[in-house]
Structure 1
Amino acid sequence: MSYNNPAYDGSEGVRKSNKNLEIVISTLTPKLSSNLNNAYGPEESRRMLKNVLLTSFAFTFLFTAFQSMASLQSSLNSGGLGTYSLSVIYASLVLSSMFLPTYLIQKFTVKWTLVAAVFGYSAYIAAQFQPSYATLIPGAIIVGICAAPLWSAKCTYLTHIGHEYAKITGVENSEPIIVRFFGIFFLFFQSSAIWGHLISSVVLSTDARTCVNDIDSQCGVNFCPDTKFCDANINATSGGNEIQPVTRYTLAGIYLACSLAAAVILALFLDPLTRYGEKERTGSSSKLEGKDLLVATFKHMTKPYQILMIPLTIWSGMEQGFLGADFTNGYVNCAWGIEKIGWVLIWYGVVDAIGSVSFGPIIKYTGRVPIFTFGALVNIAMIIVMLTWKPNPGNPVMFFVIVGFWGLGDAIWQTQINAFYGVLFPQEEEPSFSNYRLWESLGFIIAYVFSNVLCIKIKLFIMLAVLITGMLGYFIVEVLERKRQKI
């Protein structure tokens, strides 16, 4: 069964299952203009929006499983196995970003690159049933290899379909539509943190117990890698430091089902980008073959705009890695208990999701610069708070305040940097988004390496310096772009 054929007449059950989706789409679809492209039917704009939503749903299922499983690695897999696997993921992702996305998208098309990459993520989740160096490390390598093609293909799909949507709806400037599509995507994507952490909180609740540390000397800004504090995720029944097998199998089983559901959605219901002229796209990456196609990713690094955007792109990875590796451990786990991490991250996911969908409409009235500036100021303010605030489990509101504002900032970085890459390099989606994933992954690696060797205070000052440098590079890009448009 396939939706590739515009004349496809599926079963009554399939039509009913998409009824609610069509209702949502109908509220988002503008009236077609008189400039409608004759290559598409009168309902094509609705179909495009349906594809945006299907992509969003698939990523929600996949990252409900993967993000939550990744955030639990240090607790689920002792002896450093879980942490090592995360490091391997991002190390292999860096290599993948440089070599694979452009080639795979050209070879297998955007849709089937997405499907294959989702199965790669599923392999890592399946390895959680019997974690060992023989299963988890190869699974981590597979995820790293698949991650860059997955995200590059997703960004290519949304950006290209955004340009086509603008054409058939008579919109001259496609940027607001691309931003809107990325906003819709990240609304669903960021909500995966809510569902994933709800699942882990419920499943792991029987294996957790609260433990109290010396907050003033051990936690918050004073937390260091060699800080010794009790493990709040010790099995209260067996007295060991591993969760019960039935708990592991339940958690891994639920997450594996979610990841496989993502693959099914993409394979059976998503329209291929060939429907919207994937093979006829212009630009350097669409014309190259073989070795020249791989070189496109490297050549893109030499572009002035790309060079200037590198620090801010690295920041987008560092700020995510810091929250997952340092704030949750040094502030929440140390001062309040590991069983509270899930609830704190749920609030982070809620704010992030709301922010992701909100900034799309706002940017039409304010422009990019105020939004980027606001995001930087929010993160700078939270860094100052974390440098001065002592976590207090008796006043837990501040935990949620910090992650809430951090999620607001992350919503800006994830939606606006993605969209900005699409605007800056409209005919070079694959190499530009490969670079995006490359430098963002480097940010993750830096954050994880720092987590094992530096105290939180030093990390916060380093992050502050990276953010300021990144914003300077961004402002220079905006100035150059405005001068170019005036010529």
Structure 2
Amino acid sequence: MAAYSPVSTRSTARRRDSLSSSGGASSVRRLIAVVRSTPSRLGPVYSRRVLLRNFAALCLGHATVTAALLPLLALQAAVSANMGSLLLAALHALASLSSLVAPTLVQRVGCNWTLILGYAHACVFFGLHLYPTPYTLVPAYLALGVWMGPIVSARVTFLMTLASKLAYVVTEEEEVEDMDETSSHDAELPRHDLDALFLMDDSQERVCGSEACPVTSVTPDSPQGINSTTDETQLVFMLPCKTSAMLASVFLGCSVMGVALTAAFLDRIRMFVYQDPLERPTGVAALRAVCNAFRDPRLQLAAPLAVFIGLEQGFMLADFSKSYVVCALGLPNVNLVFLSLGALQSLAAFTLSMMLRHVQRYVVIAVGFVFHTCLLLVLLLWKPSGDDPALFYVISAAWGVCNAIWETLNFTLLVTVYPDSWQAPLAHCYFFRFLGLSLAFGLHRGICNWLKLYALAATLVLAVAPYTWLEIKLESHRRLKTHLTTL
């Protein structure tokens, strides 16, 4: 009879358990590999590192182009000659129309090529400012307006694709925020040349703030060295030639960097690659979806808020920058004022996106309405003066917070109500937003500021009322659905 050894029995059992555990681990690894390589409804699965790298490339490319475009819009509206605001109005009017066909273009061309071609047109747009004549600037603004809608649609589509992929790859809940950075560049202009842009009172002081009204004609006293005369150069900046060329060169460099970052580091992230080609929506179907979005009663209730967002952004870029900042502080302070606006808007959007999980949306709407109403009242009663420059930064920062509230509420509403078909509602939203921007720039040199502030207040009421009603209906529907699920 063989001797019984408990030690050998235990060692044999341990080896058997080790083999079983190693075999189980290898089986789990093979299962994970199979799952990752198996087609899903979201297309192929990418690693977290690849997705985050594409997100960084998307943000950097967009930030560099935006850092050049937004200061140019503010300068063109604030210190340009007679036709500058009309060019911006035409640009955003075409952008509102191009946003309707943007989903079709993005679907046919792809997000990557749409962004590359759009940013390339932005490079041409900035480059033509080196030769500022009506024959170069009018086509440049019209062409950029045509590409503005597809650029926005491609950027949001790529961002939503990355968010869907990240939600599938990682196990913990993560959020990806698209932060827009704005920056400006200083430009010096003699005071007597800026005086031609403003009305003067009896004591030969500028009329600033809500009392400012548009000047019918602009005739600078010293045309030598100034890019503004009474004939063909009424479309360009009232800036010295060297300053205009330097700004255009800096903006062109930023846009070229944006194109390079987008083309070099942005991968082709496939979404519905395993879907049957016959089931993919065609261009006609995408256009039909956009047309149906105008008949959606929920989007009809949200449309006034999109118009208000465009109006208030246009007011800040055109009227606040000119009648408040440039009039009281001077042109070099425009960059710092809008830098404070952009910084607080980014911070507020990041904070609000996390707070919406724990705070009722009605509270956020009420806070935004009260804050924005107070800001409009301040701008209506306040007479800006250079003796207290801190108020300009406080007001612009508070305005950025209000803008973040409305944009975050509007965007989260679209992606929540339309989680799988948000392209057409997004095009509907940007159509009305660009329409509001076009209207704001078109009225920049048409009516006085106090009328614009009253119009903004009325539009705020008309926008918040239907949007609040929409949120109430959606919240009651969600509660009813949750109650039926728990039964």
Scaled to the shorter chain, the TM-score interval is: 0.7 to 0.9
- Contact 1:325-1:448 at 8 Å conserved across structures: yes
> In the superposition, relative to structure 1, how do residues 288 and 243 fare at CA in structure 2: closer, same or farther (>3 Å)?
same
Q: Please tell me the residue identity of whatever aligns with 2:406.
A: W
Which amino acid is the alignment partner of residue 382 of structure 2?
Answer: W
Go from structure 1 to structure 2 and tell me whether the alpha carbon gap of 1:136 and 1:36 turns closer, same or farther (over 3 Å shift): farther
| CA displacement 1:379-416 (0-9 Å, x = unmatched) | 11100111111112112222112111001112223333
Q: Deviations over 1:38-76 (max 9, x none)?
A: 249998234323322221111110011111112112466
Which of 460, 468, 484 matches 2:477?
484
Relative distance call for 1:445 and 1:238 in structure 2 (3 A) is closer
Alignment-derived partner of residue 154 in structure 1:
155
Does the residue aligned with 1:453 lie in a helix, a strand or coil?
coil
User: 2:21 maps to what in 1?
Assistant: none
2:209 and 2:217 map into 1 onto residues whose CA distance is 14
Aligned residues of 1:315 and 1:467 also touching (Cα < 8 A): yes
CA contact (8 A) 2:226 2:241 kept: no
Deviations 1:422-481 (A, max 9, x none): 222122232121112101001101211222222111111111121122222222222222
1:412 is aligned, of 402, 405, 409, to: 405
Task: Read off the aligned partner of 2:147 and give its amino acid letter.
Answer: C
Asked if residue 223 in structure 1 is aligned to residue 212 in structure 2, the reply is: yes
The match for 2:458 is 465
State the match for 1:437 in structure 2: 430
Say whether 1:38 aligns with 2:36.
Answer: yes
How many Å apart are 1:228 and its aligned residue? 8.4
* Residue pair 2:126, 2:252 contacting (<8 A) in 1 also: yes
- Superposition pairs for residues 217-366 of structure 1, below 5 Å? 218-226=207-215, 238=225, 241=228, 242-274=238-270, 277-279=271-273, 287-366=280-359
Report the CA distance shift for 1:37/1:60 in structure 2 as closer, same or farther (over 3 A).
farther
1:448 pairs, out of 413, 420, 441, with: 441
CA separation in 1, counterparts of 2:310 and 2:251? Answer: 24
> Secondary structure of the equivalent of 1:451?
coil
Q: Find the aligned partners of 2:125 and 2:432 in 1 and give their Cα distance.
A: 23
Q: CA deviation at 1:269?
A: 0.8
Cα displacement (A) at 1:167: 2.9
Alignment coverage as a number of residue pairs:
427
Instruction: Answer 1 or 2: which has greater helix percent.
Output: 1
Shift of 1:305: 1.4
SS in 2 for 1:462: helix
Q: Which amino acid in the other structure matches residue 321 of structure 1?
A: G
1:199-230: CA deviation from partner (whole Å, max 9, x where unpaired): x21xx23x444777549982211111238899
Question: Residues of 2 paired with 1:361 and 1:106: CA distance?
Answer: 31
Distance in structure 2 (CA, Å) of the matches to 1:111 and 1:238 = 42
Q: How does 1:123-138 map to 2 (within 5 A)?
A: 123-138=124-139
Contact 1:122/1:259 (<8 A) preserved: yes
CA distance in 1, matches of 2:286, 2:303: 22
Cα deviation, 1:57-96, whole Å, max 9, x if unaligned, reads: 111100111111121124665342x323212211111221
Q: Which residue of 2 aligns with 1:63?
A: 66
* 1:108 CA displacement: 1.1
Distance 1:262 1:70, change over 3 A: same
Q: Residues 161-240 of structure 1 correspond to what in structure 2 (within 5 A)?
A: 161-170=162-171, 180-181=175-176, 184-186=177-179, 189=180, 191=181, 193-194=182-183, 197=184, 200-201=185-186, 204-205=187-188, 207-209=189-191, 214=201, 218-226=207-215, 238=225
**Residue type at the aligned position of 2:454:** F
What is the CA distance between 1:311 and its match in structure 2? Answer: 0.5
Letter in 1 for 2:99: S
Mean CA deviation greater in 62-71 or 265-274: 265-274
**Is 1:47 matched up with 2:50?**
yes
1:229/1:127 CA distance change after superposition, 3 Å:
closer
* Same amino acid, percent of matched pairs: 22
CA contact (8 A) 1:156 1:429 kept: no
Instruction: Provide closer, same or farther for how the CA distance between residues 329 and 289 of structure 1 changes in structure 2, counting only shifts above 3 A.
Output: same
Matched, 1:392 2:385: yes
Quickly say closer, same or farther: Cα 1:239–1:87, change in 2 above 3 A.
Answer: closer
Give the corresponding residue for 1:16.
none
Aligned CA distance change for structure 1 residues 428 and 36 (closer, same or farther; 3 Å):
farther
Query: Which letter does structure 2 place at the counterpart of 1:452?
Result: R
Show the counterpart of 1:101. 102
How big is each residue's C-alpha offset from its partner over 1:121-158, in whole Å with a ceiling of 9 and x where there is no partner?
22211110112222111111111111111111111222
RMSD between aligned alpha carbons?
Answer: 3.0
Larger Cα-atom Rg:
2
Cα distance in structure 1, aligned partners of 2:408 and 2:373: 19
Q: Which amino acid in 2 is paired with 1:333?
A: V
Structure-2 change in CA distance of 1:322 and 1:145 (3 Å): same
8 A Cα contact 1:35 1:169, kept in partner: no
Opposite residue 207 of structure 2, the aligned amino acid is Q
Unaligned ranges ≥5, structure 1 = 1-33
Distance 1:77 1:456, change over 3 A: closer
Partner Cα separation in structure 2 for residue 129 and residue 240 of structure 1: 11
Do the aligned residues in 2 keep the contact of 1:53 with 1:185 (CA within 8 Å)? Answer: no
Partner of 2:92: 90
**Letter matched to residue 145 of structure 1:** V
